[in-house]
Structure 1
Amino acid sequence: MSTPLRLSTVILPVRRWHEGGRRSWERAEDLGFHAAYSYDHLSWRSFRDTTWFGAIPTLTAAATVTERLRLGTLVTSPNFRHPVTLAKELITLDDISGGRLTLGIGAGGSGFDATALGREAWTPRERADRFAEFVPLLDRLLTEDAVTHRGTHYSADEARNIPGCVQRPRLPFAVAATGPRGMRLAAEYGQAWVTTGDPRLSEAGTPRQSRDAIRDQIERLGKACADLGRDPDTLDKVLLTGFTPDKNDPLRSVDAFVDFAGRHAELGITEIVVHEPVPGTVFAADESVYERIATEALPRLG
Protein backbone atom coordinates (compact mmCIF):
# COMPACT_ATOMS: atom_id res chain seq x y z
CA MET A 1 0.00 0.00 0.00
CA SER A 2 1.46 3.34 -1.04
CA THR A 3 2.05 6.08 1.51
CA PRO A 4 -0.41 8.99 1.17
CA LEU A 5 1.31 12.18 0.04
CA ARG A 6 1.62 14.86 2.71
CA LEU A 7 1.89 18.60 2.13
CA SER A 8 3.96 20.85 4.39
CA THR A 9 5.33 24.38 4.35
CA VAL A 10 8.46 26.34 5.23
CA ILE A 11 7.97 29.58 7.11
CA LEU A 12 11.11 31.69 6.90
CA PRO A 13 11.93 33.58 10.14
CA VAL A 14 11.75 36.97 8.44
CA ARG A 15 8.79 38.61 10.19
CA ARG A 16 8.63 40.05 13.68
CA TRP A 17 6.41 37.84 15.83
CA HIS A 18 3.82 40.56 16.44
CA GLU A 19 3.97 41.87 12.88
CA GLY A 20 2.88 38.78 10.98
CA GLY A 21 5.21 36.11 12.32
CA ARG A 22 2.70 34.57 14.70
CA ARG A 23 -0.06 34.64 12.13
CA SER A 24 2.06 32.68 9.63
CA TRP A 25 2.22 29.68 11.96
CA GLU A 26 -1.43 29.92 12.94
CA ARG A 27 -2.39 30.12 9.27
CA ALA A 28 -0.31 27.04 8.45
CA GLU A 29 -2.32 25.06 10.98
CA ASP A 30 -5.62 26.56 9.82
CA LEU A 31 -4.82 25.58 6.22
CA GLY A 32 -4.25 21.97 7.22
CA PHE A 33 -0.55 21.60 6.42
CA HIS A 34 0.99 18.43 7.85
CA ALA A 35 4.05 20.31 9.16
CA ALA A 36 5.60 23.75 9.14
CA TYR A 37 9.38 24.06 9.15
CA SER A 38 11.85 26.90 9.46
CA TYR A 39 15.40 27.24 8.17
CA ASP A 40 17.99 26.96 10.94
CA HIS A 41 20.56 29.52 9.81
CA LEU A 42 22.22 32.59 11.29
CA SER A 43 21.47 34.30 7.98
CA TRP A 44 20.75 33.01 4.51
CA ARG A 45 21.73 34.10 1.00
CA SER A 46 19.70 37.06 -0.23
CA PHE A 47 18.22 37.57 3.26
CA ARG A 48 21.61 38.25 4.84
CA ASP A 49 21.06 41.98 5.29
CA THR A 50 17.37 41.78 6.18
CA THR A 51 15.36 40.53 9.14
CA TRP A 52 16.20 36.96 10.14
CA PHE A 53 15.35 35.41 13.51
CA GLY A 54 16.56 32.23 15.24
CA ALA A 55 14.84 28.95 14.41
CA ILE A 56 14.62 27.32 17.85
CA PRO A 57 13.06 30.32 19.65
CA THR A 58 10.69 30.84 16.71
CA LEU A 59 9.59 27.20 16.76
CA THR A 60 9.12 27.39 20.52
CA ALA A 61 6.79 30.36 20.08
CA ALA A 62 5.00 28.55 17.25
CA ALA A 63 4.46 25.54 19.53
CA THR A 64 2.52 27.72 21.96
CA VAL A 65 0.06 29.03 19.35
CA THR A 66 -0.63 25.77 17.50
CA GLU A 67 -2.05 22.42 18.59
CA ARG A 68 -1.93 19.91 15.70
CA LEU A 69 0.75 21.17 13.33
CA ARG A 70 4.07 19.35 13.35
CA LEU A 71 7.04 21.69 13.68
CA GLY A 72 10.63 21.33 12.59
CA THR A 73 13.92 22.63 11.27
CA LEU A 74 14.75 22.25 7.60
CA VAL A 75 17.58 21.92 8.20
CA THR A 76 19.88 22.20 11.21
CA SER A 77 23.60 21.59 10.62
CA PRO A 78 26.86 21.35 12.58
CA ASN A 79 27.95 24.71 11.13
CA PHE A 80 27.13 26.50 14.37
CA ARG A 81 25.53 23.78 16.50
CA HIS A 82 27.03 21.38 19.05
CA PRO A 83 25.22 18.10 19.77
CA VAL A 84 25.19 18.59 23.55
CA THR A 85 23.55 22.01 23.60
CA LEU A 86 21.33 21.22 20.63
CA ALA A 87 19.99 18.09 22.33
CA LYS A 88 18.94 20.06 25.41
CA GLU A 89 17.10 22.62 23.25
CA LEU A 90 15.38 19.91 21.21
CA ILE A 91 14.19 17.99 24.27
CA THR A 92 12.78 21.22 25.68
CA LEU A 93 11.03 22.10 22.41
CA ASP A 94 9.66 18.58 22.04
CA ASP A 95 8.17 18.94 25.52
CA ILE A 96 6.67 22.38 24.88
CA SER A 97 5.14 21.23 21.59
CA GLY A 98 3.67 18.09 23.12
CA GLY A 99 5.76 15.80 20.92
CA ARG A 100 5.26 17.55 17.58
CA LEU A 101 8.90 18.23 16.71
CA THR A 102 10.89 16.86 13.77
CA LEU A 103 14.59 17.61 13.42
CA GLY A 104 15.61 18.21 9.84
CA ILE A 105 19.38 17.87 9.84
CA GLY A 106 22.10 18.10 7.20
CA ALA A 107 25.85 18.45 6.84
CA GLY A 108 25.67 22.20 6.15
CA GLY A 109 27.31 24.22 3.41
CA SER A 110 29.76 27.02 2.78
CA GLY A 111 27.36 29.92 3.28
CA PHE A 112 27.32 32.60 5.96
CA ASP A 113 26.84 30.10 8.79
CA ALA A 114 30.16 28.49 7.94
CA THR A 115 32.24 31.56 8.83
CA ALA A 116 30.04 33.54 11.24
CA LEU A 117 31.89 32.11 14.25
CA GLY A 118 35.17 33.50 12.94
CA ARG A 119 36.72 30.38 11.46
CA GLU A 120 37.48 29.13 7.99
CA ALA A 121 34.69 27.24 6.27
CA TRP A 122 35.10 23.47 6.43
CA THR A 123 35.82 21.57 3.25
CA PRO A 124 33.16 19.16 1.94
CA ARG A 125 35.13 16.27 3.43
CA GLU A 126 35.36 18.00 6.81
CA ARG A 127 31.62 18.67 6.76
CA ALA A 128 30.94 15.00 5.98
CA ASP A 129 33.32 13.85 8.73
CA ARG A 130 31.67 16.08 11.31
CA PHE A 131 28.18 15.09 10.20
CA ALA A 132 29.08 11.41 10.52
CA GLU A 133 30.02 12.02 14.17
CA PHE A 134 27.32 14.61 14.93
CA VAL A 135 24.28 12.47 14.06
CA PRO A 136 25.15 9.33 16.08
CA LEU A 137 26.11 11.43 19.10
CA LEU A 138 22.89 13.43 18.89
CA ASP A 139 20.96 10.16 18.65
CA ARG A 140 22.55 9.01 21.92
CA LEU A 141 21.98 12.34 23.65
CA LEU A 142 18.27 12.18 22.82
CA THR A 143 17.81 8.58 23.93
CA GLU A 144 20.12 8.14 26.95
CA ASP A 145 19.90 9.90 30.32
CA ALA A 146 23.68 10.45 30.54
CA VAL A 147 26.24 10.42 27.73
CA THR A 148 30.02 10.54 27.71
CA HIS A 149 31.76 10.67 24.36
CA ARG A 150 35.29 11.47 23.23
CA GLY A 151 35.30 12.00 19.49
CA THR A 152 37.47 13.59 16.86
CA HIS A 153 35.23 16.64 16.58
CA TYR A 154 32.71 16.47 19.45
CA SER A 155 32.87 15.48 23.08
CA ALA A 156 30.35 15.05 25.89
CA ASP A 157 31.11 14.57 29.56
CA GLU A 158 28.26 13.01 31.54
CA ALA A 159 25.79 15.14 29.56
CA ARG A 160 22.38 14.75 31.22
CA ASN A 161 19.13 14.85 29.25
CA ILE A 162 16.40 13.91 31.67
CA PRO A 163 13.49 13.26 31.10
CA GLY A 164 14.27 12.76 27.41
CA CYS A 165 11.91 13.33 24.51
CA VAL A 166 8.13 13.17 24.66
CA GLN A 167 8.34 11.15 21.45
CA ARG A 168 9.92 7.76 22.06
CA PRO A 169 12.57 6.61 21.72
CA ARG A 170 13.31 10.15 20.50
CA LEU A 171 11.99 12.83 18.18
CA PRO A 172 12.29 11.91 14.47
CA PHE A 173 15.27 12.86 12.32
CA ALA A 174 14.77 13.98 8.71
CA VAL A 175 18.25 13.64 7.24
CA ALA A 176 19.14 15.76 4.22
CA ALA A 177 21.65 13.87 2.08
CA THR A 178 22.71 13.15 -1.50
CA GLY A 179 26.13 11.53 -1.07
CA PRO A 180 26.83 7.95 0.04
CA ARG A 181 27.88 8.78 3.61
CA GLY A 182 24.85 10.97 4.19
CA MET A 183 22.54 8.39 2.63
CA ARG A 184 23.86 5.79 5.04
CA LEU A 185 23.22 8.12 7.99
CA ALA A 186 19.66 8.65 6.74
CA ALA A 187 19.16 4.91 6.41
CA GLU A 188 20.58 4.19 9.85
CA TYR A 189 19.25 7.08 11.94
CA GLY A 190 16.53 8.80 9.92
CA GLN A 191 12.79 8.52 10.07
CA ALA A 192 12.78 10.64 6.91
CA TRP A 193 15.17 11.65 4.13
CA VAL A 194 15.21 15.15 2.63
CA THR A 195 16.21 16.27 -0.86
CA THR A 196 16.09 19.53 -2.80
CA GLY A 197 16.89 17.67 -6.01
CA ASP A 198 20.28 17.77 -7.71
CA PRO A 199 21.86 21.21 -7.12
CA ARG A 200 23.85 20.85 -10.33
CA LEU A 201 20.58 20.98 -12.27
CA SER A 202 18.97 23.87 -10.40
CA GLU A 203 19.91 26.57 -12.91
CA ALA A 204 20.67 24.76 -16.17
CA GLY A 205 18.72 21.52 -15.94
CA THR A 206 15.21 20.60 -17.05
CA PRO A 207 12.32 19.36 -14.91
CA ARG A 208 12.63 15.91 -16.49
CA GLN A 209 16.36 15.76 -15.72
CA SER A 210 15.60 16.82 -12.17
CA ARG A 211 13.03 14.06 -11.72
CA ASP A 212 15.48 11.53 -13.14
CA ALA A 213 18.09 12.71 -10.63
CA ILE A 214 15.64 12.41 -7.74
CA ARG A 215 14.69 8.91 -8.91
CA ASP A 216 18.39 8.02 -8.84
CA GLN A 217 18.75 9.49 -5.35
CA ILE A 218 15.82 7.41 -4.09
CA GLU A 219 17.33 4.28 -5.63
CA ARG A 220 20.65 4.97 -3.90
CA LEU A 221 18.80 5.58 -0.64
CA GLY A 222 17.12 2.21 -1.12
CA LYS A 223 20.51 0.59 -1.59
CA ALA A 224 21.78 2.21 1.62
CA CYS A 225 18.73 0.85 3.45
CA ALA A 226 19.22 -2.62 1.97
CA ASP A 227 22.85 -2.66 3.10
CA LEU A 228 21.60 -2.13 6.67
CA GLY A 229 18.72 -4.57 6.36
CA ARG A 230 16.12 -1.82 6.49
CA ASP A 231 12.95 -1.61 4.43
CA PRO A 232 13.23 1.70 2.51
CA ASP A 233 9.45 2.10 2.72
CA THR A 234 9.87 2.76 6.45
CA LEU A 235 11.72 5.99 5.59
CA ASP A 236 9.68 9.03 4.54
CA LYS A 237 11.01 10.88 1.50
CA VAL A 238 10.70 14.65 1.66
CA LEU A 239 11.12 17.09 -1.24
CA LEU A 240 11.84 20.70 -0.31
CA THR A 241 10.68 22.67 -3.35
CA GLY A 242 12.08 25.89 -4.77
CA PHE A 243 15.46 24.51 -5.81
CA THR A 244 14.64 22.23 -8.74
CA PRO A 245 14.67 23.76 -12.24
CA ASP A 246 10.93 24.44 -11.79
CA LYS A 247 11.79 26.90 -8.97
CA ASN A 248 8.45 28.40 -7.87
CA ASP A 249 6.52 27.37 -11.01
CA PRO A 250 4.48 24.79 -9.04
CA LEU A 251 3.01 27.68 -7.03
CA ARG A 252 1.69 29.55 -10.05
CA SER A 253 -1.60 27.61 -9.94
CA VAL A 254 -3.29 24.69 -8.25
CA ASP A 255 -3.16 22.76 -11.54
CA ALA A 256 0.59 23.35 -11.84
CA PHE A 257 1.16 22.14 -8.31
CA VAL A 258 -1.01 19.03 -8.73
CA ASP A 259 0.98 18.10 -11.85
CA PHE A 260 4.31 18.71 -10.09
CA ALA A 261 3.30 16.83 -6.95
CA GLY A 262 1.85 13.91 -8.85
CA ARG A 263 5.01 13.40 -10.91
CA HIS A 264 7.17 13.41 -7.78
CA ALA A 265 4.83 11.16 -5.84
CA GLU A 266 5.28 8.63 -8.64
CA LEU A 267 9.02 8.67 -7.90
CA GLY A 268 8.38 7.78 -4.26
CA ILE A 269 8.28 11.21 -2.62
CA THR A 270 5.92 11.07 0.38
CA GLU A 271 6.03 14.69 1.58
CA ILE A 272 6.29 17.89 -0.44
CA VAL A 273 7.27 21.14 1.25
CA VAL A 274 6.43 24.54 -0.24
CA HIS A 275 7.59 27.94 0.94
CA GLU A 276 5.17 30.40 2.41
CA PRO A 277 5.34 33.34 -0.02
CA VAL A 278 7.73 36.16 0.87
CA PRO A 279 7.05 39.18 -1.38
CA GLY A 280 10.00 40.73 -3.18
CA THR A 281 12.23 37.68 -2.73
CA VAL A 282 13.07 34.45 -4.54
CA PHE A 283 10.07 32.96 -2.71
CA ALA A 284 7.52 35.47 -3.97
CA ALA A 285 4.21 33.86 -4.97
CA ASP A 286 0.49 34.55 -4.99
CA GLU A 287 -0.85 34.19 -1.44
CA SER A 288 -4.27 33.05 -2.63
CA VAL A 289 -2.76 30.28 -4.78
CA TYR A 290 -0.62 29.14 -1.83
CA GLU A 291 -3.74 28.88 0.32
CA ARG A 292 -5.72 27.08 -2.38
CA ILE A 293 -2.90 24.58 -2.88
CA ALA A 294 -2.97 23.83 0.85
CA THR A 295 -6.70 23.17 0.85
CA GLU A 296 -7.40 21.79 -2.65
CA ALA A 297 -4.35 19.98 -4.01
CA LEU A 298 -4.21 16.75 -2.02
CA PRO A 299 -7.81 15.68 -2.64
CA ARG A 300 -7.12 15.97 -6.38
CA LEU A 301 -4.07 13.76 -6.02
CA GLY A 302 -6.15 11.03 -4.45
Structure 2
Amino acid sequence: MRLSTVILPIHRWSEGQKIWRRAEDLGFHAAYTYDHLSWRSFRDEPWFGSVPTLTAAATATERMRLGALVTSPNFRHPVTLAKELITLDDVSGGRTTLGIGAGGIGFDATALGQEAWSPKERADRFGEFLPLLDELLREDSTTSAGTYYSAVEARNIPGCVQTPRLPFYVAATGPRGLRLAAEYGQGWVTYGDPKGPADVPVEQAPAVVAAQLAKLTAACEARGRDVAELEKVLLQGSTAEKPLQSLGAFVDWAGTYREIGITELVIHWPVPDSIFENDLTVFEEIATEGLAQLG
Protein backbone atom coordinates (compact mmCIF):
# COMPACT_ATOMS: atom_id res chain seq x y z
CA MET A 1 0.00 0.00 0.00
CA ARG A 2 1.14 3.53 -0.83
CA LEU A 3 0.42 6.81 0.93
CA SER A 4 0.02 10.08 -0.96
CA THR A 5 -1.28 13.56 -0.24
CA VAL A 6 -3.37 16.33 -1.80
CA ILE A 7 -1.97 19.85 -1.55
CA LEU A 8 -4.63 22.38 -2.42
CA PRO A 9 -3.47 25.11 -4.87
CA ILE A 10 -4.13 27.89 -2.36
CA HIS A 11 -0.61 29.05 -1.53
CA ARG A 12 1.49 31.71 -3.18
CA TRP A 13 4.48 29.87 -4.53
CA SER A 14 6.91 31.46 -2.08
CA GLU A 15 5.14 29.39 0.57
CA GLY A 16 3.67 26.63 -1.55
CA GLN A 17 7.04 25.32 -2.70
CA LYS A 18 8.00 24.64 0.92
CA ILE A 19 4.95 22.39 1.35
CA TRP A 20 5.62 20.39 -1.81
CA ARG A 21 9.25 19.89 -0.80
CA ARG A 22 8.19 18.89 2.69
CA ALA A 23 5.78 16.34 1.23
CA GLU A 24 8.68 14.75 -0.64
CA ASP A 25 10.89 14.82 2.45
CA LEU A 26 8.15 13.03 4.41
CA GLY A 27 8.22 10.20 1.91
CA PHE A 28 4.81 10.52 0.24
CA HIS A 29 4.52 8.39 -2.87
CA ALA A 30 2.74 11.20 -4.73
CA ALA A 31 1.40 14.69 -4.19
CA TYR A 32 -1.72 15.70 -6.08
CA THR A 33 -3.70 18.89 -6.37
CA TYR A 34 -7.29 19.67 -7.30
CA ASP A 35 -7.97 20.70 -10.90
CA HIS A 36 -10.70 23.27 -10.34
CA LEU A 37 -11.20 26.93 -11.16
CA SER A 38 -12.39 27.38 -7.58
CA TRP A 39 -13.83 25.04 -5.00
CA ARG A 40 -16.57 25.19 -2.37
CA SER A 41 -15.59 27.17 0.74
CA PHE A 42 -12.40 28.36 -0.97
CA ARG A 43 -14.28 30.18 -3.73
CA ASP A 44 -13.51 33.63 -2.34
CA GLU A 45 -10.02 32.68 -1.21
CA PRO A 46 -6.73 32.33 -3.13
CA TRP A 47 -6.85 29.47 -5.65
CA PHE A 48 -4.24 28.92 -8.35
CA GLY A 49 -4.20 26.89 -11.57
CA SER A 50 -3.36 23.22 -11.25
CA VAL A 51 -1.05 22.76 -14.24
CA PRO A 52 1.21 25.76 -13.44
CA THR A 53 1.25 24.64 -9.80
CA LEU A 54 2.25 21.10 -10.74
CA THR A 55 4.88 22.40 -13.16
CA ALA A 56 6.40 24.51 -10.41
CA ALA A 57 6.22 21.52 -8.04
CA ALA A 58 8.08 19.44 -10.62
CA THR A 59 10.99 21.86 -10.49
CA ALA A 60 10.94 21.94 -6.68
CA THR A 61 10.97 18.15 -6.18
CA GLU A 62 12.98 15.23 -7.51
CA ARG A 63 11.39 11.86 -6.68
CA MET A 64 7.73 12.19 -5.73
CA ARG A 65 5.06 11.59 -8.34
CA LEU A 66 2.77 14.52 -9.17
CA GLY A 67 -0.72 14.81 -10.54
CA ALA A 68 -4.28 16.09 -10.52
CA LEU A 69 -7.24 14.64 -8.60
CA VAL A 70 -9.15 15.04 -10.74
CA THR A 71 -9.27 16.75 -14.12
CA SER A 72 -12.62 16.76 -15.94
CA PRO A 73 -14.16 18.02 -19.20
CA ASN A 74 -15.96 20.82 -17.31
CA PHE A 75 -13.49 23.44 -18.55
CA ARG A 76 -10.94 21.35 -20.44
CA HIS A 77 -10.51 20.26 -24.06
CA PRO A 78 -8.47 17.15 -24.92
CA VAL A 79 -6.27 18.93 -27.49
CA THR A 80 -5.04 21.69 -25.19
CA LEU A 81 -4.92 19.43 -22.14
CA ALA A 82 -2.74 16.91 -23.98
CA LYS A 83 -0.20 19.61 -24.82
CA GLU A 84 -0.06 20.73 -21.20
CA LEU A 85 0.32 17.17 -19.92
CA ILE A 86 3.13 16.35 -22.30
CA THR A 87 4.94 19.47 -21.13
CA LEU A 88 4.35 18.63 -17.48
CA ASP A 89 5.55 15.07 -17.96
CA ASP A 90 8.71 16.41 -19.59
CA VAL A 91 9.41 18.97 -16.86
CA SER A 92 8.82 16.37 -14.14
CA GLY A 93 11.03 13.78 -15.81
CA GLY A 94 8.17 11.32 -16.23
CA ARG A 95 6.62 11.68 -12.75
CA THR A 96 3.13 12.81 -13.81
CA THR A 97 -0.12 10.92 -13.18
CA LEU A 98 -3.46 12.21 -14.45
CA GLY A 99 -6.50 11.68 -12.27
CA ILE A 100 -9.50 12.21 -14.53
CA GLY A 101 -13.27 11.94 -14.25
CA ALA A 102 -16.55 13.06 -15.79
CA GLY A 103 -16.85 16.12 -13.53
CA GLY A 104 -19.92 17.33 -11.72
CA ILE A 105 -21.92 20.39 -10.77
CA GLY A 106 -20.39 23.42 -9.10
CA PHE A 107 -18.40 26.46 -10.12
CA ASP A 108 -16.39 24.70 -12.83
CA ALA A 109 -19.55 23.49 -14.53
CA THR A 110 -20.81 26.99 -15.37
CA ALA A 111 -17.72 29.24 -15.27
CA LEU A 112 -17.42 29.31 -19.07
CA GLY A 113 -21.01 30.48 -19.40
CA GLN A 114 -22.59 27.14 -20.21
CA GLU A 115 -25.51 25.50 -18.47
CA ALA A 116 -24.48 22.73 -16.10
CA TRP A 117 -24.56 19.43 -17.96
CA SER A 118 -26.88 16.64 -16.90
CA PRO A 119 -25.36 13.39 -15.56
CA LYS A 120 -26.05 11.76 -18.94
CA GLU A 121 -24.35 14.56 -20.87
CA ARG A 122 -21.35 14.46 -18.53
CA ALA A 123 -21.07 10.72 -19.15
CA ASP A 124 -21.48 11.21 -22.92
CA ARG A 125 -18.79 13.87 -23.01
CA PHE A 126 -16.41 11.87 -20.85
CA GLY A 127 -16.93 8.91 -23.16
CA GLU A 128 -15.49 11.03 -26.00
CA PHE A 129 -12.99 13.02 -23.98
CA LEU A 130 -10.99 10.14 -22.53
CA PRO A 131 -10.44 8.11 -25.74
CA LEU A 132 -9.41 11.24 -27.63
CA LEU A 133 -7.00 12.30 -24.89
CA ASP A 134 -5.55 8.80 -24.90
CA GLU A 135 -4.93 9.00 -28.65
CA LEU A 136 -3.48 12.51 -28.47
CA LEU A 137 -0.93 11.43 -25.85
CA ARG A 138 0.11 8.35 -27.83
CA GLU A 139 0.31 9.70 -31.38
CA ASP A 140 2.45 12.36 -33.06
CA SER A 141 -0.57 13.62 -35.02
CA THR A 142 -4.27 13.13 -34.34
CA THR A 143 -7.37 13.86 -36.41
CA SER A 144 -10.72 12.89 -34.95
CA ALA A 145 -14.28 14.18 -35.34
CA GLY A 146 -16.69 13.73 -32.45
CA THR A 147 -20.01 15.07 -31.27
CA TYR A 148 -18.37 17.13 -28.51
CA TYR A 149 -14.60 17.07 -29.10
CA SER A 150 -12.57 17.06 -32.28
CA ALA A 151 -8.93 17.33 -33.32
CA VAL A 152 -7.52 18.27 -36.71
CA GLU A 153 -3.90 17.27 -37.27
CA ALA A 154 -3.14 18.02 -33.63
CA ARG A 155 0.62 17.57 -33.19
CA ASN A 156 2.08 16.25 -29.95
CA ILE A 157 5.77 15.78 -30.56
CA PRO A 158 7.81 14.45 -28.76
CA GLY A 159 5.02 12.90 -26.68
CA CYS A 160 5.19 11.88 -23.04
CA VAL A 161 8.40 10.85 -21.29
CA GLN A 162 6.46 7.85 -19.95
CA THR A 163 5.51 5.39 -22.65
CA PRO A 164 3.17 4.81 -24.29
CA ARG A 165 1.75 7.75 -22.28
CA LEU A 166 1.46 8.98 -18.71
CA PRO A 167 -0.90 6.96 -16.44
CA PHE A 168 -4.62 7.67 -16.21
CA TYR A 169 -6.30 7.23 -12.81
CA VAL A 170 -9.99 7.21 -13.69
CA ALA A 171 -12.48 8.42 -11.08
CA ALA A 172 -15.68 6.46 -11.62
CA THR A 173 -18.46 4.62 -9.81
CA GLY A 174 -21.16 4.24 -12.50
CA PRO A 175 -21.17 1.53 -15.16
CA ARG A 176 -20.04 3.72 -18.06
CA GLY A 177 -17.19 5.27 -16.09
CA LEU A 178 -16.05 1.91 -14.78
CA ARG A 179 -15.95 0.56 -18.32
CA LEU A 180 -13.70 3.46 -19.28
CA ALA A 181 -11.50 2.79 -16.25
CA ALA A 182 -11.20 -0.84 -17.29
CA GLU A 183 -10.29 0.11 -20.85
CA TYR A 184 -8.04 3.14 -20.38
CA GLY A 185 -7.04 3.28 -16.72
CA GLN A 186 -3.82 2.41 -15.01
CA GLY A 187 -5.60 3.29 -11.78
CA TRP A 188 -9.09 3.88 -10.39
CA VAL A 189 -10.13 6.59 -7.90
CA THR A 190 -13.01 6.76 -5.42
CA TYR A 191 -13.90 8.99 -2.47
CA GLY A 192 -16.81 6.90 -1.24
CA ASP A 193 -20.50 7.11 -2.04
CA PRO A 194 -20.80 9.74 -4.82
CA LYS A 195 -24.35 10.69 -3.77
CA GLY A 196 -23.34 11.76 -0.28
CA PRO A 197 -20.23 10.20 1.25
CA ALA A 198 -20.53 12.14 4.51
CA ASP A 199 -24.03 10.78 5.06
CA VAL A 200 -22.91 7.15 5.13
CA PRO A 201 -22.41 5.84 8.68
CA VAL A 202 -18.72 5.36 9.46
CA GLU A 203 -19.07 1.63 9.97
CA GLN A 204 -20.68 1.26 6.52
CA ALA A 205 -18.18 3.36 4.54
CA PRO A 206 -15.77 0.49 3.79
CA ALA A 207 -18.62 -1.65 2.45
CA VAL A 208 -19.49 1.10 -0.04
CA VAL A 209 -15.95 1.05 -1.43
CA ALA A 210 -15.86 -2.75 -1.44
CA ALA A 211 -19.04 -2.80 -3.55
CA GLN A 212 -17.49 -0.31 -5.98
CA LEU A 213 -14.39 -2.49 -6.23
CA ALA A 214 -16.55 -5.48 -7.06
CA LYS A 215 -18.10 -3.54 -9.93
CA LEU A 216 -14.66 -2.45 -11.12
CA THR A 217 -13.54 -6.08 -11.05
CA ALA A 218 -16.54 -7.08 -13.17
CA ALA A 219 -15.84 -4.27 -15.65
CA CYS A 220 -12.23 -5.40 -15.95
CA GLU A 221 -13.27 -9.02 -16.47
CA ALA A 222 -15.66 -7.97 -19.22
CA ARG A 223 -12.77 -6.10 -20.85
CA GLY A 224 -10.42 -9.05 -20.48
CA ARG A 225 -8.20 -7.29 -17.94
CA ASP A 226 -7.03 -8.36 -14.53
CA VAL A 227 -8.19 -5.79 -11.98
CA ALA A 228 -4.82 -6.27 -10.27
CA GLU A 229 -3.29 -4.26 -13.14
CA LEU A 230 -4.99 -1.11 -11.81
CA GLU A 231 -4.01 0.89 -8.76
CA LYS A 232 -7.02 1.28 -6.48
CA VAL A 233 -6.94 4.79 -5.00
CA LEU A 234 -9.03 6.08 -2.09
CA LEU A 235 -9.18 9.87 -1.68
CA GLN A 236 -9.87 10.55 2.00
CA GLY A 237 -11.74 13.59 3.26
CA SER A 238 -15.32 13.28 2.03
CA THR A 239 -16.70 10.62 4.37
CA ALA A 240 -17.51 10.89 8.07
CA GLU A 241 -14.40 8.84 8.90
CA LYS A 242 -11.70 10.65 10.92
CA PRO A 243 -8.44 8.77 10.24
CA LEU A 244 -6.18 11.78 10.76
CA GLN A 245 -7.07 12.35 14.39
CA SER A 246 -4.24 10.12 15.58
CA LEU A 247 -1.66 7.64 14.33
CA GLY A 248 -3.70 4.78 15.78
CA ALA A 249 -6.87 5.94 14.03
CA PHE A 250 -5.02 6.09 10.74
CA VAL A 251 -3.52 2.62 11.15
CA ASP A 252 -6.94 1.12 11.85
CA TRP A 253 -8.49 2.93 8.92
CA ALA A 254 -5.68 2.08 6.49
CA GLY A 255 -5.72 -1.56 7.54
CA THR A 256 -9.44 -1.82 6.82
CA TYR A 257 -9.06 -0.46 3.31
CA ARG A 258 -5.95 -2.52 2.60
CA GLU A 259 -7.98 -5.65 3.35
CA ILE A 260 -10.66 -4.49 0.91
CA GLY A 261 -8.10 -4.05 -1.86
CA ILE A 262 -7.18 -0.36 -1.88
CA THR A 263 -3.54 0.07 -2.95
CA GLU A 264 -3.07 3.84 -2.51
CA LEU A 265 -4.47 6.15 0.16
CA VAL A 266 -4.54 9.90 -0.42
CA ILE A 267 -4.87 12.27 2.55
CA HIS A 268 -5.26 16.04 2.49
CA TRP A 269 -2.45 18.28 3.63
CA PRO A 270 -3.87 20.20 6.62
CA VAL A 271 -5.48 23.57 5.91
CA PRO A 272 -6.29 25.65 9.00
CA ASP A 273 -9.84 26.95 9.42
CA SER A 274 -11.25 24.63 6.76
CA ILE A 275 -12.81 21.18 6.41
CA PHE A 276 -9.25 19.92 6.03
CA GLU A 277 -8.05 21.30 9.36
CA ASN A 278 -5.88 18.73 11.14
CA ASP A 279 -2.91 18.78 13.50
CA LEU A 280 0.19 19.08 11.31
CA THR A 281 2.35 17.23 13.84
CA VAL A 282 -0.01 14.24 13.82
CA PHE A 283 -0.23 14.43 10.03
CA GLU A 284 3.54 14.26 9.67
CA GLU A 285 3.68 11.37 12.14
CA ILE A 286 1.14 9.53 9.99
CA ALA A 287 3.19 10.28 6.89
CA THR A 288 6.39 8.88 8.31
CA GLU A 289 5.08 6.02 10.45
CA GLY A 290 1.54 5.19 9.36
CA LEU A 291 2.17 2.47 6.80
CA ALA A 292 5.08 1.02 8.77
CA GLN A 293 2.69 0.51 11.68
CA LEU A 294 0.52 -1.68 9.44
CA GLY A 295 3.33 -4.22 9.19
Q: Deviations over 1:202-259 (max 9, x none)?
A: 232212211111100000000000001000001110000001221xx11110000000
Give the aligned partner of residue 289 of structure 1: 282
Q: Go from structure 1 to structure 2 and tell me whether the alpha carbon gap of 1:209 and 1:200 turns closer, same or farther (over 3 Å shift).
A: farther
Q: Secondary structure at the match of 2:198?
A: coil
Q: Secondary structure at the match of 1:72?
A: strand
Equivalent runs, 1:116-135 vs 2, <5 Å = 116-135=111-130
Q: Give the drift of 1:267.
A: 0.5
Give the aligned partner of residue 62 of structure 2: 67
2:139 paired with 1:144: yes
1:74 partner amino acid = L
Which of 221, 226, 234 is the equivalent residue of 1:231? 226
Give the number of equivalent residue pairs.
295
Which of 2, 7, 15 is the equivalent residue of 2:3? 7
Is the 2:191–2:197 Cα contact (8 Å) retained in structure 1?
no
2:261 partner amino acid = G
CA distance in 1, matches of 2:76, 2:170: 16
CA distance in 1, matches of 2:111, 2:182: 31
RMSD, matched Cα: 0.7
CA distance in 2, matches of 1:223, 1:162: 36
2:92 paired with 1:94: no
1:226 partner amino acid = E
Which of 13, 17, 32 is the equivalent residue of 2:13? 17
CA distance in 2, matches of 1:245, 1:226: 32
CA distance in 2, matches of 1:207, 1:147: 47
CA distance in 2, matches of 1:55, 1:201: 26
**Greater mean deviation of Cα atoms: 22-31 or 192-201:** 192-201
Q: Deviations over 1:37-80 (max 9, x none)?
A: 00000000110000000000000000001000000000000000
Give the aligned partner of residue 252 of structure 1: 245
Q: Deviations over 1:236-286 (max 9, x none)?
A: 10000001221xx11110000000000011100000000000000000000
Give the aligned partner of residue 26 of structure 2: 31
Q: Secondary structure at the match of 2:199?
A: coil
Q: Name segments (4+ residues, structure 1) moved above 6 Å.
A: none
2:35 paired with 1:40: yes
Q: Secondary structure at the match of 2:164?
A: coil
Q: Give the drift of 1:201.
A: 4.6
CA distance in 2, matches of 1:39, 1:95: 20
Equivalent runs, 1:244-283 vs 2, <5 Å = 244-246=239-241, 249-283=242-276
Q: Give the drift of 1:200.
A: 3.4
Is the 2:9–2:53 Cα contact (8 Å) retained in structure 1?
yes
Which of 45, 51, 55 is the equivalent residue of 1:50? 45
Q: Identical aligned pairs, as a percentage?
A: 68
CA distance in 2, matches of 1:154, 1:27: 39
Equivalent runs, 1:172-191 vs 2, <5 Å = 172-191=167-186
1:265 partner amino acid = R
**Greater mean deviation of Cα atoms: 196-205 or 183-192:** 196-205
